[in-house]
A and B are shown apart, each in its own frame.
Chain A
Amino acid sequence: MKGFQQRSQSLAILLALLLLLIAVAVIIGTLWWVRHHLPTRIADTAYEVDGIILFVLAVAAVFLLLSHLYLAFVLLRFRDNPKATFIGVTRRSWLPVLAIVAVLLAFDLMFDHKSNEVWGKVFFRIPNDAFVVEITGEQFAWSIRYPGKDGKLGRSDVRLVSDDNPLGLDKNDPASKDDIVFPAGQGELHLPLNRPVLFLIRSKDTLHSFCIPFARVKMDAVPGMTTRLWFTPTKPGRYEFTCAELCGLGHYRMRGDLIVEPMEKLQEWLSQQPTFEETMP
């Protein structure tokens, strides 16, 4: 028979098993992946963000498994049903739906709560004593600026940019004299171990996104604005950071090296670098 008369037990069994297999493969595969292939966690944010991601994934895995179990069960249970059960419309049929949705809603609010904790910390509770670094994006490399001994970044303006003043620092601002500038692509990003670091993120030309997969953070660099982000590096070593917002033909190679080291070592290295005043012609 053709058309709507087509019934097939074997198709029901095949589809039920395949759907179950898919659900199990997706869940086990993801579990295995997060166990083995997440980048090293090098900051407090890495643990916090991973915590939420994994929590949401775990809840999703349970719902995913249940929904596919249901599909497979229905297909198998009714595979040989010659006549469907008529369920007239009653308000009672709403109850099971609303009950499941209520459980989902409870998890939703839990996700939101956990998310707000981390979000609030990263964006609203910036420590006053944070070590400040300025990161500036341009096609296709990052510039780095440290505030120098006074701990203050000097004023800068994109209108003052020139070949020997690539970040457009104001020479008349005393705070800029001891700033240490690494023009685009010419320096490594050194961060102090176990000290909060505040990044001031800027761009000269188009959108970029300052992204450290090892710290599980990113924030867009927007021309005309300064965006910010902070975290505390917790693991010494050599890592990478990169650009995560399409910025042009060289977007894929706009990377930088990142070094986490104890503060003393970092200060010693910084003291050997020429200041802005020393490099000005």
Chain B
Amino acid sequence: MAHEVVHGHIAVELPLWRRLLRFSTDHKDIGLQYMFTAWAMAAIGGFMAFLMRLQLGFPDKAFPFLGRLFPHGAEGGVLKPEFYLALITMHGTLMVFFFQTAILLGGFGNFLIPLQIGARDMAFPFLNGLSYWVFLLSCLIMLLSFFVEGGAAAAGWTVYPPLSALKDLIPGSGLGQTLWLLGMAVFIVSSLMGSLNYITTVLNLRTKGMTMFRLPFTIWGLFLAAILGLLTFPVLTAGAILLLLDRHFGTSFYLPTLHVAGRLIGREGGNPLLWQHFFWFLGHPEVYILALPALGFVGDILACFARKPFFAYRLAIFGALGLAFLSCIVWAHHQFVSGMNPYLALPFSLLTILVSVPFATILLCLAGTLWGGSFRFTTPMLFALGFLSLVTVGGFGGLSLGVAANDLHLHDTYYVVGHFHTIMGSSVLFGIYAATYFWFPKMFGRMMNERLGKWHFWLSLLGVYAVFIPMHWLGLTGMPRRYYAFTELEFLKPFLPLNTFISIAAFVLIASQLLFVVNFFWSLWRGEKASDNPWGATTLEWQTSSPPPHGNWGAELPTVYRWAYDYSVPDAPTDFIPQTVPPAKTAASSE
């Protein structure tokens, strides 16, 4: 609001709820709006995971509370297959797009980019505000789809046609699927407004002295993720429009002639594989849209709490560039056994395996940062270290799936489910947690509780391994994914106890996330007051007040004199030198 813009002064300190509920153009407000909405979506997605594990761990067992909660979806206390499939579809969609993408780019991207590059706001503040409200609309459309006839979309989060095209094939492909496609289209519009803004801001609004190679690694992660989003999301939009045409206007982009339930569907000439290429052209870079910001956060957090300069910082940036580039040309590794020309598997398999080169480069730089460090075991540091462990396990799981011949057996099994939940679910989630604990003081001016935070970490680390590693094992046995029950196949019957174990571990994992919720809200109002720079960090956001005023800086923008990692510089009076400190004669600033 114009009358509140008084640079250099805290003009009006609005209470949190008002900042969340108004049309704001302040990037910090918008970041928080995204963050709260995304966490709400995560809670819903997590509850869905609970319901699914209830079914998989205890098939055919009736839970009366389910019947009362969902009189249609779980009549008599047992989930129906149509409700189960709607749950897997919506769990994936909500967690990947409406939680992780939204919180990383919309939440942290908005909050951190102007603060870390020394800008007063985003390049297009109005567009930024608009992007949040459009995002909220897309969330509502998605959630609404549970309440329409036939239920929410149920063709999997990849919504492959023909299943997603005809409601004769599955009830969820009625109005629920239409809402899914509209919801995604609206989400993508919001995401494009955001991405354009982040890219422009990083390129044009860096303060004096902030060269590209002085940017914190976090900004590099967010910047590259925004570029990937801008390049690949539109392809999915185009695909979604074609699918809507196939569904409602009788076109045949994806549908050949079909015979469904005794009836000939007189389409001709379409090919279901076309959708898969459109979907994965976004779908695979999407993984790196999530991974790159998480790598960025973790890199900065490790450097801060090891009190060490970022090891081989430029090399890590080249690694991130390589990762972003490669991620755009590996999409068909999701389709090795889809019926596409098997020759295509050869380049796509090789390129996928080569992703390990830039990926390992970045991870080794992060690992190198730890060497000789003086560790401060705060909660964000623990989550960052947990991230390193998870990302290694998840990375090698991914490498084994990139090898085309392995997919003859492992494709569409629980190995895949275990893998992407380790790398995308858990390690990215750990990155998000690390970032939340780390930047909470800057966002709200209060510290989160360390004791609760540490318990949250231990339980989460053990929890994700207990849930997702056994899934890899079941996948090696050949247990297919997206099964409502595993008790129909003879060779899988002996594994019911392991499925029950996974479910119980998942319940513990989900319950332990409540520690975070309690900690978050308790700290919001009762947390210890935070100083401007509670962690002794070097980047710009810590050189202003906590929380920063509207406009972020005083009368003048900060000037940057050094890179973001001058920790433990010999002969310096403190073990960190903020980016705003001019070079002294002795202090050996590096970049």
Contact = CB atoms under 8 A, between A and B. Distances in A.
B80 to A, nearest CB: 8
Interface in B518-542: 528, 531, 534-537
27 contacts: A3-B378, A3-B447, A3-B534, A4-B537, A6-B378, A15-B382, A18-B458, A19-B385, A22-B389, A50-B409, A71-B388, A83-B374, A84-B308, A96-B368, A115-B404, A118-B405, A138-B259, A139-B260, A204-B260, A219-B337, A221-B339, A224-B270, A225-B339, A243-B480, A244-B413, A250-B81, A251-B483
Contact of B406 (A53, A100, A138, A249): A53
B351 to A, nearest CB: 10
A241 to B, nearest CB: 10
B353 A108 contact: yes
A64 B396 contact: yes
A4 B85 contact: no
Contacts of A96: 364, 368
Interface of A: 2-8, 11-12, 15, 18-19, 22-23, 25-26, 29-30, 33-34, 37-39, 45, 48-50, 52-53, 56-57, 60, 63-64, 67-68, 70-71, 74-75, 78-79, 81-89, 93-94, 96-98, 100-101, 104-105, 108, 111-112, 114-119, 122-124, 138-139, 158-159, 161, 163, 168, 204-207, 209, 211, 213-214, 216-225, 227, 239-240, 242-253, 255
Interface extent on B, as a size class?
35 or more
Contact of A224 (B163, B257, B367, B473): B257
Contacts of A34: 476
A60 B396 contact: yes
Given A26-B393, A26-B469, A139 B169 contact: yes
A97 B312 CA distance: 9
B472 A30 contact: yes
A100 B376 contact: no
A190 B257 CA distance: 30
Contacts of A63: 392, 396
Interface of B: 81-82, 85, 155-156, 160, 162-163, 166, 169-171, 256-262, 264, 270-273, 304-309, 311-315, 337-339, 342-343, 345-346, 349-350, 353-354, 356-357, 360-361, 364-365, 367-368, 370-378, 382, 385, 388-389, 392-393, 396-397, 399-400, 403-406, 408-413, 447, 450, 458, 461-462, 465, 469-470, 472-473, 476-478, 480, 482-486, 488-491, 495, 528, 531, 534-537, 567-570, 575, 588, 590-591
A159 B409 contact: no
A97 B315 contact: yes
B489 A255 contact: yes
- B262, B343, B404 — most chain A CB neighbours (10 Å): B404
A111 to B, nearest CB: 5
Given A246-B163, A248-B170, A93 B409 contact: no
A252 B486 contact: yes
A216 B339 contact: no
Contact of B373 (A81, A100, A207): A81
A3 B533 CA distance: 9
Please provide the 9 A-B residue pairs with the shortest distance between their CB atoms, ordered closest to farther. Answer: A224-B256, A213-B478, A85-B372, A60-B396, A123-B342, A216-B409, A252-B483, A84-B568, A118-B405
A81 B374 contact: yes
A75 B385 CA distance: 10
B336 to A, nearest CB: 8
B169 A78 contact: no
B400 A74 contact: no
A48 to B, nearest CB: 7
Contacts of A79: 375
